[in-house]
Structure 1
Amino acid sequence: MTGRIDVHQHLVPPPYRDALRAAGITEVGGRALPDWSPETAQALMDEAGIATGVLSVSAPGTTFLDDPAAAVRLAREVNEYGAELVERNPDRFGHFATVPLPDVEAATAEATHALDTLHADGVVLLANSRGTYLGEEGQDQLFAALDERQAVVFVHPAELPGPAVPGVAPFAADFLLDTTRAAYLLVRNGIVRRYPNIRFVLSHAGGFVPYAAHRLAMGMANDGHSFPDALTDLRSFYFDTALSASPSALPALLAFARPERILFGSDWPFATDMVVHYFAKGLEQHLEHTPFGATIEAAIDHGNAAALFPRLARQTVPVTPAGRAKALRGEIKSRAVGALFKLAATSARG
């Protein structure tokens, strides 16, 4: 059975976990650093009908390291780990390489190595790295290298520059603004037009982009940009559904994004197993009631990502006895959270 391709799944490899612990970092965006292993990842994937997870390191990437050389070394360690994992499990995993921004020269060198030598499926770029936003001036060397390789760039949020607001977990609200700021700058500063071969994927349905796109375009028009062109460029992004297939967020995404550019995302393991099932069921239940029905569900689950990552196009969910058992457990969980999703949808409609 052809399964989902999950473009927003994280890994926490041993060298990265060790570096975070050495720096005293025990949580990301207000969430505790989760346990992770290839085995637990595959168990969740079997339950959730995910054939392949394209893995990336989440925030803070390498930005927590003050020594630029140490950041370069850690990025290389993480990328070599990811490449080896994909080599051992090509049917189950893909890999977005980490680069040591905000050092543009070092990031360009690591992206080039990861794509050309390690054969990464793309790169992950944080929306901001130590306060420098993606799309600001001075990053053309990196974008040129990515454009030349027709790279997929997964844009993931980080904590906002400046102090957090007490009581507001950064992952709950700030991450959405961080992604939106990066998307705004990538369009406003002409990056998406100057480097048309880069395929940018925005995490979490693009933050506020679908909901606020016309307002964002108006802001660019105040800077002398064309309002229609700004909207066109905002729609050029790919969007994943991680934590976003809700009764309120998903309709905005479907109304704005190009349907062939919506991709399934789970955000596991920062999203718990139950949360993954909740939003996956939400996606399924909402799409049943759209004019596209099963057609767009299949595109979001598999087809759109298969077009973006041709090597993953034929991946299927394992159907071993153990795999069937895990899938059954996943279906039981899915039904339970489906009832919860229906209740949330009813509440959202008042």
Structure 2
Amino acid sequence: MNTPRIDTHHHVVPPTYAAWLASQGIDAGGRAIPDWTAETALALMDSIGVERAILSVSTPGVHLGDDALARRWAREVNEFAARQRADQPGRFGFFATLTLPDVDGAIAEAAHAFDVLGADGVVLLASVRGTYLGDASIEPLMAELDRRAAVVFVHPSELNAPPVPGIPPFAADFLLDTTRAAIHMARAGWLERYPNLRIILSHGGGFVPYAAERIARACADQGDQTQGLARLKRYYFDTALTSSPYALPSLLAFAEPSHITFGSDWPYAPAERSQHFARLLDAYPLSDAQRAAIHRDNAAALFGRP
């Protein structure tokens, strides 16, 4: 019997937030903003054996260029997520949405999210209009999150460049965006300077496991390959859209066994896609210990829950 899952890559789309994005003509990396209800989320969770989902807002987040508006929307979506958790205790948790590149607003919202709403962690976009995680301007926030020993879920955004015609950003640009952020944070020394952070990279880390030998020198001081690989191995990785027989072997070969968590990417991945990748993971030849770790144990350890 499979271990009940904890889903660390499960999105929430508050209706007012969806309407706001629609009014701005914004989609999510080439996908329409999906509808979300607690009932449809729970149905998807039950269909793939997810006991608990950690809700997060996906790209484009809440900062569209106006700090004050971003602060308003961060508070609204976080309070919406907290209500879902209160309504379904044991089924939902949530990553708080912050306001980067507004660092002061992000620190204030993190304090509210942790101290008042009881957030499980925060979600940060890999980049916002070309500024990547790892940039020195963001360090005050990371120092505060490190002080709180926070779990940080990194989700990709669109590249700061025009998409290639016919190739939606979610197909390849998202993977590159995550990879760029992972390299930039490692190169900046964040993984040593903020050792209490637990950073989860979306979608199996983008290209990180597959290209680790190639990119390790760019992640290190003076091109030290060993140091670069060690830094990259400190990340956590979710299995969202990454449990195929092509991608999963690379992830399992690279990641520390305790650093892989289950992810569905619902509802931006429609139910049939989330179910497809869950079935691929179920069919993959894992040991009982590996399966329990990926499905539940690793995430339970991250969030300090049984």
TM bracket, shorter-chain basis: over 0.9
- Contact residue 184 and residue 219 of structure 2 kept, 8 A: no
- Contact residue 53 and residue 93 of structure 2 kept, 8 A: yes
Deviations for 1:114-171, whole angstroms, at most 9, x for unmatched residues? 1122110000000001221111112111001100100000000000001111011100
Name the residue aligned to 1:180: 179
Name the residue aligned to 1:61: 61
The structure with more radius of gyration:
1
Name the residue aligned to 1:229: 227
Q: CA deviation at 1:276?
A: 1.0
Q: Secondary structure at the match of 1:139?
A: helix
1:103-182 aligned at under 5 Å gives the runs 103-182=102-181
Number of equivalences = 305
State the alpha-carbon separation in 2 of the partners of residues 220 and 267 from structure 1: 27
State the alpha-carbon separation in 1 of the partners of residues 124 and 15 from structure 2: 21
1:170-319 aligned at under 5 Å gives the runs 170-221=169-220, 224-286=222-284, 288=285, 290=286, 293-311=287-305, 313=306
Amino acid of the structure 2 residue aligned with 1:266 = S
Q: Secondary structure at the match of 2:266?
A: coil
Name the residue aligned to 2:24: 23
Aligned CA distance change for structure 1 residues 72 and 301 (closer, same or farther; 3 Å): same
Name the residue aligned to 2:75: 76
State the alpha-carbon separation in 1 of the partners of residues 149 and 16 from structure 2: 29
Name the residue aligned to 1:33: 33
Q: Secondary structure at the match of 2:222?
A: coil
Q: CA deviation at 1:59?
A: 0.0
Q: CA deviation at 1:81?
A: 0.8
Q: Secondary structure at the match of 2:241?
A: coil
Q: Secondary structure at the match of 1:42?
A: helix
Name the residue aligned to 1:343: none
- Contact residue 99 and residue 106 of structure 2 kept, 8 A: yes
- Contact residue 15 and residue 36 of structure 2 kept, 8 A: no
Name the residue aligned to 1:344: none
Q: Secondary structure at the match of 2:218?
A: helix
State the alpha-carbon separation in 2 of the partners of residues 202 and 220 from structure 1: 16
Amino acid of the structure 1 residue aligned with 2:207 = F
State the alpha-carbon separation in 2 of the partners of residues 282 and 18 from structure 1: 34
Q: Secondary structure at the match of 2:293?
A: helix
- Contact residue 15 and residue 74 of structure 1 kept, 8 A: no
State the alpha-carbon separation in 1 of the partners of residues 108 and 63 from structure 2: 17
State the alpha-carbon separation in 2 of the partners of residues 232 and 298 from structure 1: 25
Q: Percent identity?
A: 56
Alignment pair present for 1:95 and 2:94: yes
TM-score, L = length of structure 1: 0.85
Q: CA deviation at 1:225?
A: 4.2
Q: CA deviation at 1:2?
A: 5.3
Unaligned runs of 5+ in 2: none
- Contact residue 183 and residue 218 of structure 2 kept, 8 A: no
State the alpha-carbon separation in 1 of the partners of residues 111 and 167 from structure 2: 37
Q: CA deviation at 1:185?
A: 0.7
Q: CA deviation at 1:242?
A: 0.1
State the alpha-carbon separation in 2 of the partners of residues 129 and 187 from structure 1: 18
Q: Secondary structure at the match of 1:167?
A: coil
Amino acid of the structure 2 residue aligned with 1:31 = R
- Contact residue 124 and residue 155 of structure 2 kept, 8 A: yes
TM-score, L = length of structure 2: 0.97
How well do the aligned residues superpose, as a CA RMSD in angstroms? Answer: 1.3
Deviations for 1:205-236, whole angstroms, at most 9, x for unmatched residues? 00000001111112345x61422111111000
Q: Which segments of structure 1 move beyond 2 Å, counting only runs of 4 or more? A: 218-221
State the alpha-carbon separation in 2 of the partners of residues 133 and 106 from structure 1: 17
State the alpha-carbon separation in 1 of the partners of residues 250 and 227 from structure 2: 20
